[in-house]
């Protein structure tokens, strides 16, 4: 069947505003096509968007605004796809949700990563416990001054905690935009490039629904302190979001015990036993 990689990215960049604001997204008003517009469509009063890939082009969309802290979530029905939070430039920040497809009937791999000041190599991968092409599922990145948490259908699958006070990098200095794209990644994404796209099955469509940025709008360097200030408007700073609760911890352990396929913190050969400093710290 098909194999391709779709990229959903949330990118953070700088600006300046003087009040907190929660943003509820609509594809019509809050995003625009950054490439392959003829391969995409928005419908359902702006709540739904289809990205398309054929042997001519893929397609992509990005948010008009930038955000610092909060939750970025979307319902996605995959063919094969991915997701990322990222910023631009040589010292960009990026938080990834990428979905790597495979042969028909094989499970999908969720590839997560986080770049801070241009440095990545923090990959963790998971096998999805359901068929993401059969229906829409919720994919959320929750990001606050304490941690980044990746969720699938409200189940946490990964946590990256803030140990900046101990000299470990954390993404809290740049705003990000949201990017979503569908493109051919069969040179590496599907079993390391072994599985190729069957173009006779094209066009391929990925469905996006109910993009929701419940986040602090970035408007410049002043946003660094404003979006992190603990008050009611900045709901993500509430103590309840500083740590996963007992039920969430049980869900996280279940995923990691049963569906985790790769963890950079245990890849001693790749890093010649020179492991990233956060690997020695508790993340949840």
pTM (predicted TM-score): 0.86
DSSP codes joined into one string, 75-116: EEE-SS-EEEEE--STT--EEEEEEE--STTSPPEEEEEEEB
Question: Which pLDDT does position 146 carry in this prediction?
Answer: 98
* Structural domains of the chain ordered from first start: 27-280 (2.60.120.200)
The two structure tokens encoding residue 168 = 């470990």
Percent of the chain at pLDDT exceeding 70: 81
Marked catalytic residue, from 73, 94, 217, 278: 94
Query: For 87-112, how does the pLDDT look when each residue is reduced to its tens digit (9 = 90+)?
Result: 555 678 989 888 876 655 678 888 89
Provide the token pair at 113: 């990563």
CA 244 centroid distance within chain: 19
CA distance 263 to 270: 11
Q: What's the average model confidence in pLDDT over 121-149?
A: 95
Residue 253 bears catalytic tag: no
Q: Is 94 a catalytic residue?
A: yes
**Pick the residue with more confidence: 202 or 191?**
202
Residue with tokens 């066009």: 203
pLDDT digits (tens, 9 = 90+) for 11-46: 222 222 223 344 456 888 889 898 888 888 999 888
CB burial class (10 A; 0-12, 13-18, 19+) of residue 199?
middle
Q: How far is CA 50 from CA 39, 136, 141, 144, 206, in A?
A: 8, 12, 21, 30, 6
Q: Residue 148: is its pLDDT beyond 90?
A: yes
**What's the half-sphere exposure (Cβ side, CA atoms, 13 Å) at 247?**
2
Q: CB-hemisphere CA count at 13 Å for 159?
A: 25
Give the CA distances from residue 220 to residues 17, 33, 64, 67, 176, in Å, rounded to whole numbers and listed in that order.
7, 24, 15, 10, 11
Q: What is the pLDDT of residue 4?
A: 35
The residue that leads in pLDDT, 53 or 267, is 267
Encoded tokens for 84: 């990322």
Cβ distance 161 to 147 under 8 Å?
A: yes
Across 101-112, b (16+ Cβ under 10 Å) vs e yields: bbeeeebbbbbb
79: left (phi over 0), alpha (psi -120 to 50) or beta: alpha
From 98, 217, 253, 278, active-site residue: 98
Task: Report the candidate in 215, 206, 249 with the shortest Cα–Cα distance to residue 85.
Answer: 215
């Amino acid at each position: 069947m098909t194999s391709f990689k779709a990229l959903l990215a949330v990118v953070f960049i700088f600006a300046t505003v003087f009040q907190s604001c929660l943003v509820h997204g609509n594809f019509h008003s809050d995003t625009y096509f950054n490439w392959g517009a003829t391969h995409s469509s928005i419908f359902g009063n702006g709540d739904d968007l289809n990205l398309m890939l054929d042997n001519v082009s893929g397609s992509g969309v990005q948010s008009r605004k930038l955000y610092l802290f909060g939750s970025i979530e979307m319902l996605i029905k995959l063919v094969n796809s991915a997701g990322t939070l990222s910023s631009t430039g040589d010292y960009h920040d990026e938080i990834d949700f990428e979905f790597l497809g495979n042969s028909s009937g094989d499970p999908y791999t969720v590839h997560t990563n986080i770049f801070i000041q241009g440095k990545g190599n923090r990959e963790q991968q998971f096998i999805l416990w359901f068929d993401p092409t059969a229906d829409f599922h919720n994919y959320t990145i929750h990001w606050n001054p304490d941690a980044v948490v990746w969720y699938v259908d409200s189940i946490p699958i990964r946590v990256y905690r803030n140990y900046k006070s101990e000299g470990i990098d954390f993404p809290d200095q740049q705003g990000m935009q949201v990017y979503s794209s569908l493109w051919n990644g069969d040179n590496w994404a599907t079993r390391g490039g072994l599985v190729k796209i069957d173009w006779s099955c094209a066009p391929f469509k990925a469905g996006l629904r109910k993009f929701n940025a419940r986040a602090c709008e970035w408007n410049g360097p002043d946003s660094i302190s404003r979006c992190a200030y603990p008050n009611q408007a900045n709901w993500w700073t509430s103590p309840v979001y500083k740590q996963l609760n007992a039920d969430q911890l049980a869900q996280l352990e279940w995923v990691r015990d049963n569906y985790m396929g790769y963890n950079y913190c245990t890849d001693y050969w790749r890093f010649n036993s020179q492991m990233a400093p956060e690997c020695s710290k508790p993340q949840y």
